[in-house]
A and B are shown apart, each in its own frame.
Chain A
Amino acid sequence: MTFSLFLSYFFFVLQLLLNSLIILVGILLTVAFYTLAERKVMAGVQRRKGPNVIGFWGVLQPLVDGLKLVLKENIIPVKADKMLFIMAPMISFVLAFSAWALIPFQNIGILSDLNIGLLFLFALSSLGVYGIILGGWASNSKYAFLGALRSTAQMISYEIILGVIFLSICILVGSINLYDILAAQHQIWFCIPLWPFLIVFVIAMLAETNRAPFDLPEAEAEIVAGYNVEYSGIAFALFFLAEYSNMLLFSALFSILFLGGGAPFLNYTGIIVFIVKSLIIAASFIVIRAGLPRLRYDQLMIKSWTILLPAVFLFFLFIVFFMWIKLF
C-alpha cells in the first residue's frame, strides 16, 4: 500500500468517525432538550409552570437530571440475572442510536446510503424488543415482567402494521432506498395520496414507541413503571434515552415517508427543513400525550388486529391493483 492511498483511507475513516460523532452528540442533545420541551408543554397544557429553577427559564434542567442519574447508585437486585440485567439497557440504547446512521439529513449520504435502508430500519426496530423483554425478565419482579410481556406483545402486533405501510410505500416507489423514497416525493408529498396510511402510521408510531395513549408498558397506576421498575442510575438513563431517541427517530421517519424530508432543497437548507418538519411531529407526540387518556390493554390489541390490520391490508391491495393497472 502506497503512502497516499493509506493517507486517503485514513482521512476517509476520520471523516466517517467525525460525522458519526456529530450525529451522536446532536441526537443526545436533542433528546435531552426534548425531555425539557415535553415537561414545559405538558405544564402549559395543564396550567402549571414546569421546571423553571435551574438556568434561565429552567433551560439547564435536563443537564442536571442527567448528572443526577449518572451520580446515582446503580442498584442490581439480589435475585436478578446480573448479566442480562446489565445488558438489556445497553441493547436498547445501541439499537436506538444506530438507526440514526441511516437517516438522510441531506440529499447526499452523510453516514451511509444502504440499498436496503428502510428494511434495515425495520430490522433495528424489531430487534429493539429484546432490550425490553430481557430487562423485564432479568429484574425478577412481577411488575417488570408483566410490563415487558405487555410491551412485547404490543410492539410485535403494531410492527406488522408498520411493515405493511413500509411495503406499500416501497411498491409505489419501486425501491427501499431512503434516498429514492425522498426523490419520489419531488412532485407531491406522500401524505396527500396516502392519507389513510398517514393516520394508521401515526397510531402505529405511538404504539411502537410505547407512548401515550398506548403507554401500557409503563402504566403508572397498574404496573408501577413497567419493565424498568428495578432500574436506577445510568441503566435507567439508557432506557430513557433509547425511548426518547426512538420517538425522535419515528418522527424523522414520518417526515421522510410522508412529508418529503428535506427533498426539494439541495445541501444545507435541506437539513434545516428536514429538522423543522421532524420537530413539529415530535411536538405532536407531546401534545397527544397531554390530551388523550390511556387505552385499556384488550382495547389496544383488538384495535390492532381487527380494525387497523385489515384496513391497512385492504389499502395495500388497492395500491397493488393500482400499480398493476399502471403496467398496461
Chain B
Amino acid sequence: MLDLFISFLIFFSSILTISAANSIYGALQLIVTYCLVSILLLIYDIEFFAITYIIVCAGGMGVLFLFVVMTLSIIQIPKKTQHYSRWGFVQGIGKFLLFIVPMSIFLQFQFRIFNELDLTYLMSSRLHNYTYHEVYGTNITEIGTFLYLKYPIIVILGGIILFFALIAAVFLTVEHSKTPVWNAWLYKKFN
C-alpha cells in the first residue's frame, strides 16, 4: 500500500518537474523525485541501490543541474512560450504510455532480474544478526555476485560505453573552445 502511495507521489512530482514555469523549481522537483525513488527502493529492501541512487542522482547530478540553471539566467520561462511546456507535458504522458509501459512489461518478461535477486533481506538491522547475514548474505554481496559472476560481459560492455561517452564529452568541449565559456557567462552576468 505504501509503495503504491509513494509511486503516485513520484508520478505527481515528475509531472511537476516538466510543467514548472520556474526552471529552478523544476530542478528541485527532479531532486524530490530522486529522493522518492530511493524511498521506494528502500521499501523494497534494496537498500544499497537506494543509497547509491541518492549519492549519484540527488547528490551529484541534481546539484549540477541546479548549478547550471542558477548560473544561466533562464530562471523564468517567458509567458509566450509557456504553452510549450504544457505541450511537453501532454507529450510526456503520451510517451510514457506508448513507450515505457510496454518496455517495462517486456523487461519483466525478458530479464526477470528482480525476480532472480532474492531481495527478501529485511531492513530490520537494528542489532547485529550475523546468522542471518551468513545464511542469506547482505544486499551488496548478492548484487555483486549477480553482476560480476552471472553477467560480467554485460557489465564490462556498459563500462566501455560509459568510458567512450566520457572521452567524447571531453573531446567535444576541448576541441572548439579555447577560452572557457562559463567564465565569460559569469563576467557578463556580474559586470
Q: How far is the CB of B10 from chain A (nearest CB, A)?
A: 18
Interface residues of B in 42-72 (CB under 8 A from A): 47-48, 51-52, 54-55, 58-60, 62-64, 66-67, 70-71
Do the beta carbons of A129 and B63 come within 8 Å of each other?
yes
Q: Which residue of B51, B63, B64, B139 is within 8 Å of A123 (Cβ)?
A: B51
Contact residues on A (Cβ < 8 Å of other chain), bracket: 20 to 34
A129 to B63, CA, bound (A): 8
Do the beta carbons of B127 and A122 come within 8 Å of each other?
no
A179 to B128, CA, bound (A): 9
Do the beta carbons of B138 and A156 come within 8 Å of each other?
no
A131 to B127, CA, bound (A): 32
Do the beta carbons of B58 and A113 come within 8 Å of each other?
no
Total number of residue pairs linking A and B with CB closer than 8 Å: 72
A108 to B128, CA, bound (A): 8
A-chain residues with CB within 8 Å of residue B64 when the two chains form the complex: 156
A-chain residues with CB within 8 Å of residue B128 when the two chains form the complex: 109, 113, 179
Smallest Cβ-Cβ distance to A111: which chain B residue = B126
Q: How far is the CB of A149 from chain B (nearest CB, A)?
A: 7
Q: Does B40 contact A (CB under 8 A)?
A: no
Do the beta carbons of A119 and B126 come within 8 Å of each other?
no
A114 to B122, CA, bound (A): 11
Do the beta carbons of A126 and B55 come within 8 Å of each other?
yes
Q: Does B140 contact A (CB under 8 A)?
A: yes
Do the beta carbons of A149 and B24 come within 8 Å of each other?
no
Interface residues of A in 128-151 (CB under 8 A from B): 129-130, 133-134, 137, 142, 145-146, 149
B-chain residues with CB within 8 Å of residue A152 when the two chains form the complex: 63, 67
B-chain residues with CB within 8 Å of residue A129 when the two chains form the complex: 59, 63
Do the beta carbons of A119 and B51 come within 8 Å of each other?
yes
B-chain residues with CB within 8 Å of residue A159 when the two chains form the complex: 59
Do the beta carbons of B70 and A145 come within 8 Å of each other?
yes
A207 to B170, CA, bound (A): 27
Do the beta carbons of A119 and B55 come within 8 Å of each other?
yes
Q: Is the interface of A mostly helix, strand, loop or mixed?
A: helix
Q: How far is the CB of A170 from chain B (nearest CB, A)?
A: 10
Q: Does A127 contact B (CB under 8 A)?
A: yes
Smallest Cβ-Cβ distance to B52: which chain A residue = A119
A109 to B127, CA, bound (A): 6
Interface residues of A in 79-107 (CB under 8 A from B): 84
Q: Which residue of A116, A134, A142, A179 is within 8 Å of B190 (Cβ)?
A: A142
Q: Does B125 contact A (CB under 8 A)?
A: yes
A-chain residues with CB within 8 Å of residue B60 when the two chains form the complex: 126, 156
Do the beta carbons of B127 and A108 come within 8 Å of each other?
yes
Smallest Cβ-Cβ distance to A138: which chain B residue = B24
B-chain residues with CB within 8 Å of residue A113 when the two chains form the complex: 125-128
Q: Does A269 contact B (CB under 8 A)?
A: no
A-chain residues with CB within 8 Å of residue B127 when the two chains form the complex: 108-109, 113
Q: Does B21 contact A (CB under 8 A)?
A: no
Do the beta carbons of A137 and B59 come within 8 Å of each other?
no
Q: How far is the CB of A148 from chain B (nearest CB, A)?
A: 8
Q: Does B30 contact A (CB under 8 A)?
A: no
Q: What is the interface of chain B, defined by CB distance below 8 A to chain A?
A: 24, 28, 31, 47-48, 51-52, 54-55, 58-60, 62-64, 66-67, 70-71, 125-128, 138-140, 190
A-B contact pairs, 24 of them (CB 8 A): A109-B126, A109-B127, A109-B128, A113-B125, A113-B126, A114-B125, A115-B139, A116-B48, A116-B139, A119-B48, A120-B51, A122-B55, A123-B51, A126-B63, A127-B54, A127-B58, A127-B59, A129-B59, A129-B63, A130-B31, A133-B66, A146-B190, A153-B67, A176-B140
12 additional A-B residue pairs with CB within 8 Å, beyond A137-B24, A152-B63, A156-B60: A109-B127, A112-B125, A113-B127, A119-B55, A129-B63, A130-B31, A130-B66, A133-B66, A133-B70, A145-B70, A149-B71, A156-B63
